[in-house]
Chain A
Amino acid sequence: MGRYLIRRLLQFIPVFVGATLLIFIMVWAIPGDPIAALAGDRVLPDQVRQEIRDRYNLDDPLIVQYGKYMGGVFQGDFGDDFRGRPVTDLLGQRLPITVRLALLAFGFEVVLGIIAGILAGVRRGGFVDNLVLISTLVVIAIPIFVLGFLAQLLLGVRFGWFPVSGVQRGLYSYVLPAMVLGSVSLAYIARLTRTSLIENLRADYVRTATAKGLSRRRVVGIHTFRNSMIPVVTFLAIDLGSLMGGAIITETIFNIPGLGRAVFEGVQRQEGTVVVGIVTFLVLVYMVANLLVDVLYAVLDPRIRYE
């Protein structure tokens, strides 16, 4: 286990450097002068311009800029935006909102997804199975922003069950956006649980358990369920990372001031430091989630370690 962990950690470093460097280059490769955009119609005095260039290391070669930036990141400094506010402030302000949204979506998809998957898998080919298969396919096919608007229009405006947008009504205003955000993953989880359960129900140990005289409930609920959860658990861990990214669209539709919106506004305003800061952070979250998945996988399924 220890050697496996070290190997995975070592692989983590080049990938992290590569991904963040890629983003850094993409953002700062913007044709046009970000400082000119900052000043708007006025022409900045050369001195001010130079001052700003020095402050953001804009005269260094890109790779040196990247080096200086990453040095800061590891000390918890994600740079300042063009108004001098640290990006970490923005992170601290926006992150809790996105985390709340993502956690709610996560809970929603885990509970409903696994229940639906089990109900479908236990009776393969039955009514519930077909219902789950078709409804999940429909949910996967409807793009998330269409689904979001539909939910907003029907449940928010027409029926008035949920707040239409914003976060004024506390946790309750997160419920509808969270359901939309989690819906696609819910469909995947239901399908994954179903497939995995069906595969495991064919295994020899299930036949043994049944032959021993255990009740169907115990065979499915204890023996098969645990083994079927291995792929689902790994999916969940990856999904937690990608929910953060997927929040961009949901937050736009429901007007929720989270990280996704912050990134998007940063891109629109060409605030490179904000974009690089938040995207670097998200990539870090995503990669740590992936790393945890691999480790978790090795813990849950010992065969992986001896590859």
Chain B
Amino acid sequence: MSDRDRERLFTSSPAPVVASFEELEAEPIIRREGSLYADAWRQLRRRPMFIISGILIVILAVMAIWPGLFTRADPRACDLADSLLRPSSQHWFGTDVQGCDYYARTIWGARVSITIGVLVTACATLIAVLLGSVAGYYGGIVDTLIARLTDIWFAIPTILGGIVILRSIFSTRGLLQVSLVLIVLGWPTMLRLVRSAVMATKEMDYVDAARALGVRNIRIIRRHILPNAVAPVIVYATITVGVIISAEAALSFLGVGLQLPAISWGLMISVAQNRILTAPHLLLFPGAFLSVTVFSFILMGDALRDALDPRLR
């Protein structure tokens, strides 16, 4: 599936404001207090989806920052005599071919995934917000140029583009190179989102009022448009973290992402694939951690969308 479909799916499509008479009667009128975010926060605290994904993300973040809290073992201290041990009380997740403790490696793998996911999303969002607000606010030739540029980018499927760039341009591929490529491939989707949100907000009366008062364009964008256009961006960015983590793992799995001795779930699965019959645990543990990580971010995005999009209430 392409990024555009993902964008279409995870951002809401317009829903009728008033559903039906029954629903109107059934729901008592809620008096809104405070901002959209205070409102959303109040709603979120009660949602099990939000609580579960929030706890998972906090655990994963701690795991990425201080892996030592979870494991004493050194993921790079390996004993070949212990090669391919099954899970036991000594080695909870068993050991890999080199005899490294697989539990330690799996825990340390969180760091790369989370770093890439957050770094790429942050940079792509920044680029998208800068270019997208300019394109959406000013329109005209700048907008046309930026829109055509994103069209060109959209024509290249992410994994395909990733393989070609990573393989042909970089001779060594570390965290920075992989992040760079994912940023390059990731910003256009986000840009479209920002652009359309800015264009919708631009039409608001209070923007006209600000302009009539003589407020400069930069200030209008910063103070009046972006704060009101940012809700769908937050939702999509949360989901993007999960999608990027998945993409990094896929590229590493295909052998064009991170290279050994980096510790990454995608790389671990890639190494494990030749032994799935004799040592399935090598596949299952990093696979499970990877899936849970991606799951938490997507779940979080879903919960945020429900809370931040008043049209769905």
CB-CB < 8 A to B250: which residues of A? Answer: 143-145, 249
- Render B211-248 as a binary contact track against A, CB cut-off 8 A, 1 for contact: 00000000000000000000000000000001000100
Within 8 A of B (CB), among A17-54: 18-19, 22-23, 26-27, 29-31
Alpha-carbon distance between A196 and B16 when the two chains are bound, in angstroms:
12
Within 8 A of B (CB), among A111-151: 137-138, 140-146, 149-150
Q: Which of B1, B168, B171 contacts A239 (CB under 8 A)?
A: B1
Alpha-carbon distance between A31 and B168 when the two chains are bound, in angstroms:
8
CB-CB < 8 A to A199: which residues of B? Answer: 13, 15-16
Contact A141 B298 (CB under 8 A): yes
Contact A141 B156 (CB under 8 A): no
CB-CB < 8 A to B280: which residues of A? Answer: 153
CB-CB < 8 A to A142: which residues of B? Answer: 287, 291, 294-295
Contact B20 A235 (CB under 8 A): no
Contact B168 A185 (CB under 8 A): no
CB distance from B255 to the nearest CB of A (A): 8
Q: Which of B4, B6, B156 contacts A283 (CB under 8 A)?
A: B156
CB-CB < 8 A to B15: which residues of A? Answer: 199, 202
CB-CB < 8 A to A202: which residues of B? Answer: 15-16, 19-20
CB distance from A247 to the nearest CB of B (A): 10
Alpha-carbon distance between A287 and B269 when the two chains are bound, in angstroms:
33
- Render B150-177 as a binary contact track against A, CB cut-off 8 A, 1 for contact: 0111111101110111011101000000
Chain B, Cβ-Cβ closest to A287? B155
CB-CB < 8 A to A137: which residues of B? Answer: 295, 298-299, 302
- Render A147-187 as a binary contact track against B, CB cut-off 8 A, 1 for contact: 00110110001000000000000000000000000001100
Contact B163 A263 (CB under 8 A): yes
CB distance from B26 to the nearest CB of A (A): 13
Q: Does B84 contact A (CB under 8 A)?
A: no
Contact A235 B291 (CB under 8 A): no
Alpha-carbon distance between A267 and B257 when the two chains are bound, in angstroms:
13
Q: Does A286 contact B (CB under 8 A)?
A: yes
Chain B, Cβ-Cβ closest to A185? B1
Alpha-carbon distance between A192 and B157 when the two chains are bound, in angstroms:
21
Contact residues of B: prevailing secondary structure: helix
Contacts A143-B246, A238-B5, A239-B1: A23 and B273 contacting too (C-beta < 8 A)? no
Contact A152 B276 (CB under 8 A): yes
Chain B, Cβ-Cβ closest to A18? B152
Contact B20 A145 (CB under 8 A): no
Chain B, Cβ-Cβ closest to A249? B250
CB distance from A125 to the nearest CB of B (A): 12
Alpha-carbon distance between A144 and B292 when the two chains are bound, in angstroms:
14
Q: Does B60 contact A (CB under 8 A)?
A: no
Q: Does A231 contact B (CB under 8 A)?
A: yes
Q: Does A282 contact B (CB under 8 A)?
A: yes
Q: Which of A27, A150, A185, A286 contacts B157 (CB under 8 A)?
A: A286
CB distance from B108 to the nearest CB of A (A): 19
Contact A153 B291 (CB under 8 A): no
Contact A26 B1 (CB under 8 A): no
Q: Which of A26, A145, A153, A207 contacts B269 (CB under 8 A)?
A: A145
Q: Does A195 contact B (CB under 8 A)?
A: yes
CB-CB < 8 A to B253: which residues of A? Answer: 145, 249
Chain B, Cβ-Cβ closest to A207? B20
Q: Which of B151, B246, B256 contacts A11 (CB under 8 A)?
A: B151
Within 8 A of B (CB), among A57-75: none
Q: Does B8 contact A (CB under 8 A)?
A: yes
Interchain residue pairs A-B with the least CB separation, the first 7: A141-B295, A245-B157, A18-B152, A19-B155, A146-B287, A142-B291, A30-B168
Q: What would 4 more interface pairs be, CB under 8 Å, given A191-B9, A199-B15, A249-B253?
A: A141-B299, A149-B276, A188-B6, A238-B1
* Sample of 6 A–B contacts (CB below 8 Å): A23-B161, A142-B295, A153-B276, A192-B9, A249-B159, A263-B160
